[in-house]
Structure 1
């Protein structure tokens, strides 16, 4: 894998004749979906012959949310967080180190808290960068506004408010900040329609960046992984579904497979039989080598499809389902969105026509790549 030269990027950022793209997103979050979407957008921009770099303010709330050691906000809060850390320190430290290593290796960034940066383009997103519940209020940086940032072209790509879209967060402050953006692309249709209605201008629906790369492009990150000898069912959830393990019990009994569960976080409450310390590369390897995948996560669904695996996505019957449901509908895979074992159909699961799925995915991917091409200077 070709690494981008950090010093060359910094030089080019001061050269107005060299097109440079600053990305503002949750690239340093210790979350598989967050770092994967950041890596994918960064990689696609390089393929489009741009020179991207991530922009961050190290004084911001979100930047400090993933420090291993808790911040001292109050004695009570600090003590609670410290106890939780110490109860699971070995796994938390190992996980933190692996995420930091991935971020340092693949997601080069520059701190704009103390120096002015001028770039031709700024891309905002993907992820829930406009969810004030995550960023402790609306953070102007995620709308392209910062005292030390100068750009002639602000673009939103697959930006999201998450559940905040339904909670009255589309306030006057929000729309004033959105007014700073030249081209708007979001990842959920509901947010698109709300913005289009209020702004009276076109708002694009764009793919989550993880879907901008195909199987071969993702496999670059897993080439050094040890090949698994046994067949296994992979479980990946962010929000646990009550019927997930009824599905895996059925599959284990029928196919005599084992089950591996990778957790979205590490905690002393999480069994040590569950994988909590997988690096982003190991996370990808677990998907690429699984025999079958059971997930309730959008990105779990994404990497099941990218790796052309038999899979089911667990249905909650609420707003959590929206992203996966939309993707599965577009790809003709809604029969893989199930609520319990009674809806499990072996014939459907193991007979996915991935030639057809990949053709549909290619069309969606082309539209999003065209949006980037047309929006960037």
Structure 2
């Protein structure tokens, strides 16, 4: 019998990408489908697919950020190597992979092995990923069923030069759901279809189910503030220092190797060595406060009912602003007041979050999302 292809991104070594990949496969397995995630390795042979991106300023700006990140990683090769090995070990332990398909031709040849494909979450439909032509599922045979579960575009608009490309591949999907309201608007504009907003796959599972991947030892002893920032802005760090001053708690951090911030060194924080995704979940579970500009940092704070303070990764007027997905999540949860507008307010200590109400809101979305995924795979 043919398997289900789970198309996710566990090879992108950041906590959110791997955890949502793991959760997507776990959900498909829980619903009773034999599946494997597609282990695909790009080659330079398909580089021409990226040429159109040279004409799109917003994508080229992201590409420049990627180049700067590569310079940092090369400079800190030993550190990055240890981190990557920890991530790969987690993926090998908890996920089931296909054979490795090297290059687009191998990928297309393997397509006949699968009766259906489930495209997972994260920013898989971000225009910067369009050149790979992997998350479009264009490599599948024409009769293979396509289900999109909670993908994100990561942008407010698809660039004009790519709109026809998006219309074509979106039109081939049998079922589409998205992770945030803005994504539903984009799909409606491009295809005319009204699609549902479902929860990120990590939210499909409750705290006790995430406890299955807890490491043997906690990442830090005693009470602490867990700090995880993707952006490199000064203002969020200043608020964290204020929180530490007011509470007397130590700061625990996990570095993000994308935008290293000079301000992190001023926090006098404990940095966790070689963390894998299980350590990230553990750090949030055992924290007194969580300070983050990360979508999945916020998700796991909600799952574990934490005192969370949510910051913008970029300033509100930045062309890179991707805050819509966090706004959507906080709106659904009933937690819009947990956004910090770069200025410290004592209410983040004195006012507690009504997690009974938040859990009720999330449970409704979780139930709806499970029903959507189950029906999409069946029908």
TM-score normalized with structure 1 length: 0.81
SS of the residue corresponding to residue 17 of structure 2 reads: helix
User: Residue 171 of structure 1 corresponds to which residue in structure 2?
Assistant: 163
The root-mean-square deviation of aligned C-alpha atoms, in Å, is 2.8
User: Residue 46 of structure 1 corresponds to which residue in structure 2?
Assistant: 29
User: Cα gap change, 1:247/1:81 in structure 2, threshold over 3 Å: closer, same or farther?
Assistant: closer
Residue of structure 2 aligned with 1:202, choices 186, 194, 200: 194
Measure the CA separation in 1 of the matches of 2:70 and 2:215: 37
| Unmatched 5+ stretches in structure 2 | 48-66
Measure the CA separation in 1 of the matches of 2:43 and 2:125: 14
How far did 1:91 drift?
Answer: 1.4
- Please say if residues 127 and 158 of structure 2, whose CA atoms lie closer than 8 Å, have aligned partners that are also in contact: no
SS of the residue corresponding to residue 157 of structure 2 reads: helix
Runs (4 or more) in structure 1 with deviation over 6 Å come to 79-83, 266-270
User: Residue 242 of structure 2 corresponds to which residue in structure 1?
Assistant: 250
How far did 1:368 drift?
Answer: 1.1
Residue of structure 2 aligned with 1:59, choices 35, 42, 48: 42
User: Cα gap change, 1:169/1:129 in structure 2, threshold over 3 Å: closer, same or farther?
Assistant: farther
How far did 1:202 drift?
Answer: 2.9
Measure the CA separation in 2 of the matches of 1:245 and 1:260: 12
Deviations 1:87-131 (A, max 9, x none): 323311110110111121122222345352422220112122222
User: Cα gap change, 1:60/1:24 in structure 2, threshold over 3 Å: closer, same or farther?
Assistant: farther
User: Cα gap change, 1:82/1:131 in structure 2, threshold over 3 Å: closer, same or farther?
Assistant: closer
Residue of structure 1 aligned with 2:147, choices 152, 155, 161: 155
How far did 1:85 drift?
Answer: 4.4
Are 1:131 and 2:126 matched, yes or no? yes
Q: Which residues of 2 match residues 1-377 of structure 1 at below 5 A? A: 15-16=1-2, 20-59=3-42, 84-85=72-73, 87-110=75-98, 111-113=100-102, 114=106, 115-116=109-110, 117-133=112-128, 135=129, 137-146=130-139, 152-163=144-155, 165-168=157-160, 170-226=162-218, 228-265=220-257, 274-275=271-272, 277-315=274-312, 316-317=315-316, 319-346=321-348, 349=351, 351-377=352-378
Measure the CA separation in 2 of the matches of 1:81 and 1:304: 27
SS of the residue corresponding to residue 177 of structure 2 reads: strand
| Unmatched 5+ stretches in structure 1 | 1-14, 65-78
TM-score normalized with structure 2 length: 0.81
How far did 1:292 drift?
Answer: 0.6
Deviations 1:219-242 (A, max 9, x none): 111152247432111110111343
Instruction: Figure out how many residues of one structure are paired with residues of the other and give that number.
Output: 341
Structure 1 residues 328-337 or 165-174, which shifts more? Answer: 165-174
How far did 1:273 drift?
Answer: 5.7
How far did 1:310 drift?
Answer: 0.6
